[in-house]
Amino acid sequence: MKRPIAYIAGTGYAVPRRAVTNDDLAAQGLETNDAWIRDRTGIGQRYVSAPDETLTVLSTNAARLAMAEAGITASEIDLIVLGTATPDHLLPATAVEVQAALGAGRAMAFDLGAACSGWLYSAQVAEGMIATGMAETVLVIGAEVLSTIVDWTDRNTCVLFGDGAGATIIRHVRTLPRGESRERGILSSYGRSDGNLYDLLWRPAGGVAEPFSDAVYAARRQYVRMEGREVFKHAVRSMADAVDRALDMAKLTPADVDLMIPHQANTRIIEATAKHAGFDMSRVFVNVDRFGNTSAASIPIALADARQQGRVPEGTLVLFAAFGAGFTWGSMVVRF
């Protein structure tokens, strides 16, 4: 097992004020019902942003909580990496707006696009930058305002997604208080992508290849499109690969893991992943029922939520596994 270089020092999350239940969606005229959504996905509600709840606002609120838990000030942050598919502006990165809002004047800041694997990839970039000596303290955020890019008339997709932000402070182990276990930190990291499958889950228009136009709006190509069944198959396969590889790299078995925190896409994917790895669901954290699929925000929101619930006491070995559009997937084993 490698000696950790970086550890997670603080977590926090923020969601919009308004929760929208499955019944609310049906009442708004969408041809769906609570039983279908719960049975197929496990989702009961999701949060939806108001115009003043931008990606910068949600990210900054989550970041402040993570910084408070880690006991650091904005001036100590060397790097901000923000995983998202829904930046406030296409130029510049939302990470710099978060930097300005926090007053993190010394930080390098950029966004990272890896869809639902956004936080996991960002955490891996943070670990790498810490390993090379370019950073000691990194703010890693996963955040989305997906409600602005889903088609609220398409029941195949809109019921699945939600808005929110999760933040983590990742630091070099040299900042650990004296006497803390040297075992604490990131024990393994694994990531993969497969761009051949990019159009199974994508947003066709809005980039430079297909700019917004009346024809785009008429065909509703500005919104997320998904081949649900195909995505499901690949998600189950990729999550299984992710779990196996991170454990192999850390020379651990599923029995060593205290808690798995998977990407919260839907309970059927999570249960299939747990079954593959031989995890009883009591060792798997699930909160998709309350938040829906918040893409890049899902794992850091779940981590912060799990910590608030007392599920991640000191010494806990956590396995993270993510899967997202691209496709992108990956995993991490972390000792808290």
Quick check: 329 and 241 in contact, CB under 8 A? yes
Closest separation between CB of residue 327 and ligand ACO, Å? Answer: 8
Q: How far is CA 329 from the centre of its chain?
A: 11
Question: Which one of residues 293, 300, 317, 318 is an interface residue with ligand ACO (CB under 6 A)?
Answer: 293
Please report whether residue 294 would count as binding ligand ACO according to CB under 6 A.
Answer: no
Q: How far apart are CA 146 and CA 316, in angstroms?
A: 32
Quick check: 70 and 195 in contact, CB under 8 A? no
The answer to whether residue 263 is catalytic is yes
Residues sharing a CB contact under 8 Å with residue 270, sequence separation 6 or more, in sequence order: 42, 262, 264, 284, 286, 288
Q: How far apart are CA 319 and CA 251, in angstroms?
A: 13
Between residues 72 and 115, which has the closer beta carbon with respect to ligand ACO? 115
| Helices 298-308 and 118-132: angle between axes, nearest 10 degrees | 80
Instruction: Name which of residues 126 to 185 contact ligand ACO (CB under 6 A).
Output: 155-156, 159-160
Between residues 77 and 261, which has the closer beta carbon with respect to ligand ACO? 261
* The one catalytic residue among 22, 234, 263, 266: 263
- Structure-block tokens of residue 12: 């926090």
CA-CA-CA-CA dihedral for 307, 117, 175, 75, to nearest 10: -100
- Looking at 179-187, 188-196, 270-278, 321-329, which segment touches ligand ACO (CB under 6 A)? 321-329
Please report whether residue 37 would count as binding ligand ACO according to CB under 6 A.
Answer: yes
The answer to whether residue 61 is catalytic is no
Question: Which one of residues 18, 23, 38, 40 is an interface residue with ligand ACO (CB under 6 A)?
Answer: 40
Give me the phi and psi of 319, to 5 degrees please: -110, 120
Quick check: 79 and 168 in contact, CB under 8 A? no
* The one catalytic residue among 116, 158, 234, 266: 116
Please report whether residue 54 would count as binding ligand ACO according to CB under 6 A.
Answer: no
Instruction: Name which of residues 86 to 125 contact ligand ACO (CB under 6 A).
Output: 115-116
Site string for ligand ACO, 195-234 (x = CB under 6 A): ------x------------------------x-xx-xx--
Closest separation between CB of residue 124 and ligand ACO, Å? Answer: 18
What are the DSSP calls for 99-123, one per residue? HHHHT-TT-EEEEE--GGGHHHHHH
Closest separation between CB of residue 241 and ligand ACO, Å? Answer: 15
Size of the site for ligand ACO (CB under 6 A): 26
Closest separation between CB of residue 292 and ligand ACO, Å? Answer: 10
Closest separation between CB of residue 231 and ligand ACO, Å? Answer: 4
- Looking at 3-11, 189-197, 264-272, 300-308, which segment touches ligand ACO (CB under 6 A)? 264-272
17-32: burial string, b at 16+ Cβ within 10 Å, e else: eebbebeebbeeebeb
The answer to whether residue 293 is catalytic is yes
Quick check: 89 and 108 in contact, CB under 8 A? no
- Structure-block tokens of residue 172: 């070099």
What residues are labeled active site?
A: 116, 263, 293
Q: What residue ranges bind ligand ACO (CB under 6 A)? A: 32, 36-37, 40-41, 115-116, 155-156, 159-160, 201, 226, 228-229, 231-232, 235, 265-266, 269, 293, 295, 323-325
